Structure 1
Amino acid sequence: MRTVFVFPSGEMATTVATLDDLFDGQAGFWTDGQLYINLEDTRDGQLFSDWEPDDVRLLEAALGSRPFWALQVDISGRIDGTAEIRGLVSCLLQRGGVAVDDYSGHCWTLREIENELRVDELGFFDFRTYHDRTRDQ
């Protein structure tokens, strides 16, 4: 599985309603068999438990404060997943926010994703370049 955290702007209830319209799910978990989406929040202490402090600071700087909830999206290894995660992120970040993938350490805005911005030669969810780079080292 590959993971993307999505931090949409706006109310959690709005995002939940959007996900309820798009996917099967219940109680903070949605799936279509390719994307597995969990609603995470800080109440249970797990949201940032395995994040590096510098990554949390970058997220806080990108959003202006530390968010108290996010969506953890796991992408099945059985599929490429690029189109699926881009489609979901496009829907969820319409009103702002950022997404963080496993590869770049960058807080991606929808505009950056749509414009195919590259940071340190990596694009959003650019697992191919990341793996090519790590294999060559």
Structure 2
Amino acid sequence: MRTVFIFPDMEQAAVVALLDRLSPGQRHPWRVDRCLYGELTSEDEYLYLDWEPEAVRGLSRACGRRPSWALQVEVSGQVDGTVEVRRLTLALLAQGGIAMDDYSDHPWTADEIANDVAAGGLRFFDFRTHHERTKLTQ
């Protein structure tokens, strides 16, 4: 599975309501578009346990604080998932916020995602380029 963390500028209740609309009858995890599995996670549940310190610092700078919770979205390896993860992320960042993916330490804004901006040679959820780079360095 590939992972995206979404830190929306909205209340958790609004996130839950949106996910319930997108995934009726599916919770723990929410299953969206048949390939995304979302769970709310918090610092109390070790949100940043596996994160590099510089990634946490970059997120904190981008948000103006260290977020205490996020929606963790697992993307099935059985499908590409790019369209689906972008659509869900943009819906959750419509009022602002930041997303982080497995492939860079860049804190992604909705504008950057929507405009397919590259940071460090990678775009949001750019697993293909990341994989190619990893193959070249091995």
| TM-score (normalised: structure 1) | 0.94
CA distance, structure 2, for counterparts of residue 120 and residue 57 of structure 1: 17
CA distance, structure 2, for counterparts of residue 22 and residue 68 of structure 1: 24
C-alpha displacement of 1:29 = 2.4
Paired residues in the alignment total: 135
Matched with 2:41 is 40
Matched with 1:30 is 30
| Partner secondary structure for residue 6 of structure 1 | strand
C-alpha displacement of 1:98 = 0.7
> Larger deviation: 16-25 or 61-70?
16-25
C-alpha displacement of 1:31 = 0.9
CA distance, structure 2, for counterparts of residue 43 and residue 136 of structure 1: 38
Matched with 1:111 is 111
Letter in 2 for 1:29: P
Structure 1 gap ranges (5+): none
C-alpha displacement of 1:43 = 2.5
Matched, 1:86 2:78: no
Structure 2 gap ranges (5+): none
| Partner secondary structure for residue 30 of structure 2 | strand
| TM-score (normalised: structure 2) | 0.93
The structure 1 segments of at least 4 consecutive aligned residues displaced by more than 4 Å after TM superposition are none
| Partner secondary structure for residue 5 of structure 1 | strand
CA distance, structure 2, for counterparts of residue 84 and residue 71 of structure 1: 15
C-alpha displacement of 1:134 = 1.0
| Partner secondary structure for residue 20 of structure 1 | helix
| Partner secondary structure for residue 73 of structure 2 | strand
Aligned alpha-carbon RMSD (Å): 1.1
| Partner secondary structure for residue 108 of structure 1 | coil
Letter in 2 for 1:42: E
CA distance, structure 1, for counterparts of residue 12 and residue 136 of structure 2: 41
Please show how residues 112-131 of structure 1 align to structure 2 within 5 Å: 112-131=112-131
C-alpha displacement of 1:19 = 0.5
CA distance, structure 1, for counterparts of residue 105 and residue 55 of structure 2: 7
CA distance, structure 1, for counterparts of residue 19 and residue 29 of structure 2: 9
Percent of aligned pairs with the same amino acid: 50
Matched with 1:77 is 77
